[in-house]
Amino acid sequence: MVTVTPGVIIEGDVPEVFVPESRHGLRHRIHVGRAIVLLIAGVYFLTPIYAALHFALENDQNHFSFSPLTSIPSQPGLGSAFWLSMRLAGVTMVVAMGLMVPTVVYMHLKVPKLKPLFETITLLPIVIPPIVLILGVLPSSPLWLKSSPYLLSLVYVILVMPFVYRSLAAGLGAIDLHTLVEASRSLGASWFRTLWSVVIPNLRSALLSATVLSLALVLGEYTMASLDGWQTIPVWIVATSQNDGHVTVAVAMLSLIATWVLLTLIVSLDRSQSRRTLKRKQS
Amino acid sequence: MTTQPHTLPTDASSSPSGVGGEGAARSSRRAWRSLRTSLPLVPFFAYVLVGLGVPTIVIVNLAFRNNQGHLSLQNIKAITSGGQYLLGFESSLKLAAVTAIVPAIFGTLLAYVVATSKFALLRRLVATASGVFANFGGVNLAFIFIATVGYTGLATSFLSHFGLNPWNHGFDLYRITGVELVYFYFQIPLMVLIITPAIGGLKESWREAAQNLGASSWKYWRYVGLPVLMPSVLGSTLLLFGSGLSAYATAEALTGGTIALTPIQIGAVLNGNVLANETNIGYALGFIMIVMMLISMVGYFFLQRRASRWLR
């Protein structure tokens, strides 16, 4: 089904079920089946959200209260955990982008036959799960690096590679990279300037979605941070859960809402981007 | 750690475009050129080698070393001969299988119901929600479920009004059944995300063609729909299997590390909870896990490729 509003295609191609008109009994059964599937999903996915919201807005006497929420900023240790997580995320993003953007752009431009190799390599972090990777990273890092929290950032760069590569490849596939680069070069721009003021602005939405997905991953990463002994936000949450369950659940709900807002942002940006491309192609 | 873009070769013809070359001098020049072309890729490959390759080699190497540092199968034998580590693998594999198969079936049904629904709002809502929930693993999920079906959780007290307190009927959030229930929460959305494109690939014309040839709805699914969907469903199940096998944070936060699952055991070894004569056992656990992940992911890619035949 394609919904067309003036000039803009909103939804993709989704087939409708074909149900023979003559067999009402069957049709009825199918409708009931569909309703049951949706009902189970609704109950399973919404009950925990409702229960957690309820729990997060309760004080120790089980009365409604905003105190778990309002006491979050003054929790001991949260400030430094937040600051550490932010620094780790910042370093991770700078290194990941600085490493991946020039490399992937160059690969698309000059050696596109390496695409399958890049696809395979950037999927390896999925084969080697974080719990196993940190097992190998700790004994193989030099001492000066092991005593620094930024070891985590360097490993997180590996973890976010699949997301960054996938976003970049999609973004590069949507623009005419060769023409852009040739135009810029023939007007006398250096390679650096071409990358910085021509290619990167055209990859804005791809870079943004890569950043948001990576940030969500880095800020929520518990496995490596806890085993490397650094108190980032998730490690702090687990450590605090023994003291006050209400505050813990309040923080958990806040992070769910933050993830929701960020991902909705990507989806809407993606949509506006594809609308613009579509308009450009139509005109 | 950035590549230096101004050192890129400026001559566009330097890319190895496969022009037939004759003569030794020419071919060596081409080799030099292709070397120069791949030079800017060196930082990336070096990073992957150091950040991913070296740790993997360390794990594989130490998995086959005994306490004296000699090559040996001691660690692997210690795991496979029984005891807590073999039990850990059994539970982990069972957990991964259950949290792959159930969400795969239910996720496919849900994705089908949603993709074929008349309501555009429902489709969009489920698409966004799947993206959020599939990324919502980790420690937060554990606490949200403790608030829901923990011993004093909201759903628990609601159900016990009807005498249906799940804790009195064999349910325990802090054991394997609880971990399964919690993993479904990110596995089902993950399944919906990856199977929806395949369901969109079922073309209406196929159903019409089957209908015109006299096929019933059952026959359409038996001979057209399911065979086309099957590689995607099986491939996605393997991906879910890998995701359930390697998850650590949720189970750790939920059970406080008391459950016998391989990732939890690896974590315990890293925290120093290991017998003195089994110092390298953690690496052997990690090595076996890499092998299992490799098998399921290779299966996933193979089936995905098989499935992509119909998704054009």
Lowest mean pLDDT, pick from A106-110, B18-22, B72-76: B18-22
Residues in chain B: 312
Quick one: pLDDT band at residue A279, thresholds 50, 70, 90? low
Total count of domains within chain A: 2
State percent of chain A over pLDDT 70: 85
The 10s digit of each residue's pLDDT in A211-246 is 888 888 888 899 999 999 999 999 999 998 888 888
pTM: 0.83
Contacts of A226 in chain B (CB under 8 A): 252, 267
Cβ-nearest to B43 among A99, A130, A263 = A99
**Is residue A52 domain-shared with residue A166, that is, in the same domain?**
no
Quick one: pLDDT band at residue A273, thresholds 50, 70, 90? low
**Is residue A188 domain-shared with residue A236, that is, in the same domain?**
yes
Q: What is the pLDDT of residue A181?
A: 92
Residue A212 lies in a domain: yes
Lowest mean pLDDT, pick from A24-33, B53-62, B219-228: A24-33
Residue A238 lies in a domain: yes
Note whether A198 and A180 are within 8 A (CB): yes
**DSSP assignments along A233-270, one per residue:** HHHHHHHHTTT-HHHHHHHHHHHHHHHHHHHHHHHHHH
State percent of chain B over pLDDT 90: 46
The 10s digit of each residue's pLDDT in A47-87 is 999 999 999 988 777 788 888 888 888 888 889 999 999 99
Give the distance from residue B188's alpha carbon to the nearest chain A alpha carbon, in angstroms: 9
Lowest mean pLDDT, pick from A18-27, B47-56, B131-140: A18-27
Contacts of A138 in chain B (CB under 8 A): 270
Binary contact (A221, B138; C-beta < 8 A): yes
Third-level CATH fold of B74-308: MetI-like fold (1.10.3720)
Binary contact (A137, B55; C-beta < 8 A): yes
Quick one: pLDDT band at residue A277, thresholds 50, 70, 90? low
Residue type, position A49, single letter: I
Q: Which residue of A has its CA nearest to B132?
A: A260
**Is residue A134 domain-shared with residue A206, that is, in the same domain?**
yes
Quick one: pLDDT band at residue A10, thresholds 50, 70, 90? very low
Instruction: Kindly report the number of other CB atoms within 10 A of residue A89's CB atom.
Output: 22
Contacts of B124 in chain A (CB under 8 A): 11
Q: What is the pLDDT of residue A99?
A: 95
Q: Is the pLDDT of residue A3 over 60?
A: no
Q: Where are the domains of chain B?
A: 18-63, 74-308
**Is residue A87 domain-shared with residue A41, that is, in the same domain?**
no
Contacts of B139 in chain A (CB under 8 A): 220, 222, 234, 237-238, 252
Residue A69 lies in a domain: no
Q: What is the mean pLDDT of chain A?
A: 84
Binary contact (B52, A110; C-beta < 8 A): no
Contacts of B14 in chain A (CB under 8 A): 110
- Interface A-B: count of C-beta contacts within 8 A: 263
Binary contact (B148, A129; C-beta < 8 A): no
Q: What is the pLDDT of residue B21?
A: 46
Residue A15 lies in a domain: yes
Give the distance from residue B222's alpha carbon to the nearest chain A alpha carbon, in angstroms: 16
Contacts of B120 in chain A (CB under 8 A): 3, 10-11
Instruction: Kindly report the number of other CB atoms within 10 A of residue B158's CB atom.
Output: 14
| Greatest mean pLDDT range, A165-169, B11-15, B184-188, B202-206 | B184-188
Q: What is the pLDDT of residue A195?
A: 92
Binary contact (B131, A263; C-beta < 8 A): yes
Query: In CATH, what number is assigned to the domain containing residue A130?
Result: 1.10.3720.10
Quick one: pLDDT band at residue A276, thresholds 50, 70, 90? low
Q: How many CA atoms lie within 13 A of A13 on its CB side?
A: 10
**Is residue A228 domain-shared with residue A119, that is, in the same domain?**
yes
Q: Is the pLDDT of residue B213 over 50?
A: yes
Note whether A128 and B56 are within 8 A (CB): yes
| Residues 6+ positions from A278 with CB-CB distance below 8 Å | A8, A9
Q: Is the pLDDT of residue A11 over 60?
A: no
**Is residue A83 domain-shared with residue A213, that is, in the same domain?**
yes
Quick one: pLDDT band at residue A12, thresholds 50, 70, 90? very low
Q: What is the pLDDT of residue B252?
A: 93
Question: What single DSSP character describes residue B227?
Answer: H
**Is residue A34 domain-shared with residue A134, that is, in the same domain?**
no
Q: What is the dihedral of CA B280, B268, A81, A148, to 10 degrees?
A: -10
The 10s digit of each residue's pLDDT in B258-295 is 899 999 999 999 988 877 777 789 999 999 999 999 99
What average pLDDT does range B135-162 have in this prediction? 88
Contacts of B155 in chain A (CB under 8 A): 47-48, 51
Contacts of B56 in chain A (CB under 8 A): 128, 136
Collapsing DSSP to helix, strand or coil, A7 comes out as: coil
**Is residue A13 domain-shared with residue A121, that is, in the same domain?**
no
Binary contact (A267, B131; C-beta < 8 A): yes
Cβ-nearest to B286 among A125, A136, A158 = A136
Residue A2 lies in a domain: no
Q: Name the residue with higher pLDDT: B278 or B179.
A: B179
Cβ-nearest to A248 among B48, B143, B154 = B143
State percent of chain B over pLDDT 70: 91
Cβ-nearest to A129 among B2, B117, B246 = B246
Residue A160 lies in a domain: yes
Cβ-nearest to A52 among B8, B115, B147 = B147
- Distance, in Å, from the CA atom of A236 to the CA atom of B143, rounded to the nearest integer, reads 13
Note whether B123 and A262 are within 8 A (CB): no
What average pLDDT does range B162-171 have in this prediction? 87
Binary contact (B154, A134; C-beta < 8 A): no
Q: Is the pLDDT of residue B5 over 60?
A: no
List alpha helices for chain A, DSSP H: 24-56, 67-70, 78-110, 115-127, 130-140, 143-146, 150-174, 177-186, 191-194, 200-202, 204-220, 223-228, 233-240, 245-282
Residue A194 lies in a domain: yes
Q: Which residue of A has its CA nearest to B54?
A: A140
Q: Is the pLDDT of residue B99 over 50?
A: yes
- Best residue in A57, A61, A132, A262 for a mutation probing chain B (most B CBs within 10 Å): A132
For B17, phi then psi, to 5°, come to -90, 10
**Is residue A242 domain-shared with residue A274, that is, in the same domain?**
yes
Residue A258 lies in a domain: yes
Binary contact (A237, B188; C-beta < 8 A): no
Q: Which of B147, B197, B182 is nearest to A49 (CA)?
A: B147
**Is residue A104 domain-shared with residue A225, that is, in the same domain?**
yes
Q: Which residue of A has its CA nearest to B283?
A: A135
For A154, phi then psi, to 5°, come to -65, -35
Binary contact (A251, B140; C-beta < 8 A): yes
Quick one: pLDDT band at residue B3, thresholds 50, 70, 90? very low
- Best residue in A3, A133, A135 for a mutation probing chain B (most B CBs within 10 Å): A135
Q: Which of B302, B289, B115, B298 is nearest to B198 (CA)?
A: B115
Q: Which of B188, B177, B153 is nearest to B251 (CA)?
A: B177
Which structural domain range is residue A40 located in? 8-56
Q: What is the pLDDT of residue A86?
A: 93
